[in-house]
Amino acid sequence: MDENVLHTVLEEYQKLIDSDREKALEEALRIEAIAREKKSETLLAKALLLSGRIYYRGTLYEKSLEKNLEALPIFIALGLQSEEADCRNLIAVCQYKYGDFAESLKNAFESLKITRKTKNRLLESTCCNTIGNSYLHLQEFDNALDYLNLALKIKDELLDEKGRAMILINLGNVYFEKREYEHCEKYYSEALEIKQKMQDWQGILICYNNLGNLAADYHKNLQKALEYYDKSHALSIEHNFDYYTAELYYLKASLYYNFEMPEKALESLDKCSELSLENNYTHIIPNMTDLYGMVYYKIGDFQKACEYYRKSYTLVSETFKDSSNSKIEYLNVMHRVELIQQEAEFQRSINEELKTANEKLVELNNEKNEFLGIAAHDLKNPLSAISLSVAALRKLKDKYSPEQVDRKLEQIELTSMRMQDIIKNFLDINAIESGRINLNRKKINVLDILDKIISDNHVLTERKGIKLNMISDLQDVYIMGDYAGLMEVFENLFSNAIKYSPLKSEVTIKCEINEPKENVIVSFIDEGMGIKQEEMSKLFKKFSKLSTKPTAGENSTGLGLSIVKKLIESMDGEVWCESVYGEGSNFRVKFKLENS
């Protein structure tokens, strides 16, 4: 049979796992044999994955683990990431069933990492569910709830009602263990409603079991618990769920034991024993045997109690041994996986480096184009203004009064200064990023620089009628910094405060020492519009254009704050902004104090 046809057959039988599990397993094993004969690794790994999933659905966890452990290194070698993630999650679930929660978490997290890369949201929710269940059994309830709620959110996005109901059951289990029974009952009931609509008999059965446990533990209602167990029992018989039938006999026996009805407990245990031993339900037999011992102890048959306790001890020891063997096999597989990954790593790293280099080149090219576009745009208007002013002076110089000529010349001077500022900003950011700026760090009095900044810029404050407040009760405040760099930082922040302040408002500069007197903090506070919360992350980035605009048509290149941040960080300082939109901004700078 053609290999493509066999792949299609596998995909079709994947859909029959629940409706005709026996036929699906038969076909998976047949294709597995063909793949081994043909030495087709892709086909073999996919057949192993399917049979592993079928064994898991049939609660044959040892066989499921065996198949998936064989498939995993093949998927890795072939670079089939989606299948690798699926396989790892199945391994994690089997390890969880064995009680090996640490290894289960390790594989589930690895699977989750891959699914997020491949954007497989359905499998991502399954991984989160596996992680949540492992954390539940480790008694890490907060972590369990985090991952189960994330799984539920994804199921809601995908409109996956069946998967959603299963996660609701698991959330209920967390609250059951936390003894928060009201939450627990809500989740179980909601899950039951969904399962009933879908006629998912196995899911309905699980919900009845859980509600029976709740009735027994929380409501202490024997009759209600038995009603739920009987409903579940009827479904398990009708649909040939032998495993759940055996489990129900065990649950009933536990219920009778807790309600002081040891004879009825023994009747249920005998039925559980018959089914479990016949089908080798290894996950039920140890608990069942232990409960036998407890019941016989309660009725005073100490010899039989002792006999069953010995059996229970032996079974638990064998289970741990089997689990250890599986874990050793898993570690051997992981060793083979590691070797395969090392062989592939060199080529992958080269490809990654090339990809990163190309992305960087594209980014730099885009930045260059943006740089030139902004430069052309920002310089065009002032150049035009200068040209027009010069032309007007040339044509109308005989008609202008000396005062009018002075005003025109002042406009040309201010426009030229504006162009110088634009060019200076572009050159500054380029020098800083290329590493060509050399800072001469020495002890500087912050208050001296602030005084000079205020003195040099009084014309700006007067022009907009802004009242300046300088708040500080300090005499000398020394830091280690570059004088020119610090001048540029404070001048930029001060001019920004004025630029974005409305006419006749107030700007406050505050200099203070924080406790325990290790740092100086300088604040530049304005009464402008402030900054929207969603734009705060763009504040100190190059070429950022925010919705808040200067209040008198002043120029902004989008580079000033980027320069401020880079200069401050080069002097081991920090800068940040505190702002509520509509209520102004507070730009704060922090430096380490130096002894005077």
The stretch 22-40 carries a mean pLDDT of 86
Burial of 73 (0-12, 13-18, 19+ CB in 10 A): buried
Angstrom distance (rounded) from CA 108 to CA 87:
10
For the ranges 174-188, 521-535, 541-555, which has the lowest average pLDDT? 541-555
The stretch 229-251 carries a mean pLDDT of 89
Angstrom distance (rounded) from CA 211 to CA 208:
5
CATH of 442-592 given 3.40.190.10, 3.40.50.720, 3.30.565.10, 3.10.20.30:
3.30.565.10
pLDDT over threshold 70, residue 204: yes
Q: What is the pLDDT of residue 320?
A: 47
pLDDT over threshold 90, residue 267: yes
Termini Cα distance of the chain: 88
Each residue's pLDDT tens digit, 362-371: 665 665 555 5
pLDDT over threshold 50, residue 332: no
Q: What is the pLDDT of residue 232?
A: 92
Q: What is the pLDDT of residue 431?
A: 59
Angstrom distance (rounded) from CA 50 to CA 92:
16
Angstrom distance (rounded) from CA 91 to CA 112:
13
Angstrom distance (rounded) from CA 431 to CA 436:
5
Cβ atoms 10, 32 nearer than 8 A: no
Q: Which of 126, 147, 150 has its CA nearest to residue 136?
A: 147
Q: What is the pLDDT of residue 324?
A: 44
pLDDT over threshold 50, residue 596: yes
The stretch 256-282 carries a mean pLDDT of 89
Angstrom distance (rounded) from CA 283 to CA 247:
9
Each residue's pLDDT tens digit, 544-587: 667 777 776 565 656 678 878 888 888 889 999 999 888 889 99
Residue corresponding to tokens 């404070």 = 490
Residues 6+ apart with CB under 8 A from 283: 59, 61, 97
**Within 397-476, where are the H helices?**
402-433, 446-456, 458-463
Query: What predicted TM-score, i.e. pTM, was given to this entire model?
Result: 0.49
Torsion angle of C-alpha atoms 433, 526, 375, 416, degrees rounded to 10: -110
Angstrom distance (rounded) from CA 155 to CA 167:
9
Angstrom distance (rounded) from CA 182 to CA 180:
6
pLDDT band at 438 (very low <50, low <70, confident <90, very high): low
Q: Check residues 517 and 429 and name the one with the higher pLDDT.
A: 517
Residues 6+ apart with CB under 8 A from 593: 477, 478, 479, 513, 517, 518, 519, 520
Angstrom distance (rounded) from CA 588 to CA 576:
6
The stretch 55-73 carries a mean pLDDT of 85
Q: Which of 505, 553, 544 has its CA nearest to residue 527?
A: 505
Q: What is the pLDDT of residue 414?
A: 66
pLDDT over threshold 70, residue 318: no
CATH of 348-437 given 3.40.50.920, 3.60.15.10, 1.10.287.130, 1.10.10.10:
1.10.287.130
Instruction: Give the DSSP per-residue string, 295-312.
Output: HHHHHT-HHHHHHHHHHH
Cβ atoms 464, 498 nearer than 8 A: yes
pLDDT band at 352 (very low <50, low <70, confident <90, very high): confident
For the ranges 162-176, 247-261, 341-355, which has the lowest average pLDDT? 341-355
Average pLDDT, the chain: 80
**Torsion angles phi and psi, residue 508, rounded to 5:** -120, 130
Question: Is the Cα torsion angle 420, 563, 576, 549 positive or negative in sign?
Answer: positive
pLDDT band at 323 (very low <50, low <70, confident <90, very high): very low
The stretch 434-460 carries a mean pLDDT of 79
For the ranges 249-263, 324-338, 463-477, which has the lowest average pLDDT? 324-338
Q: What is the pLDDT of residue 376?
A: 54
Q: What is the pLDDT of residue 401?
A: 77
Cβ atoms 107, 91 nearer than 8 A: yes
- Strands (E) in 117-194, as ranges, are none
Amino acid at 121: R
Each residue's pLDDT tens digit, 160-173: 888 899 899 999 99
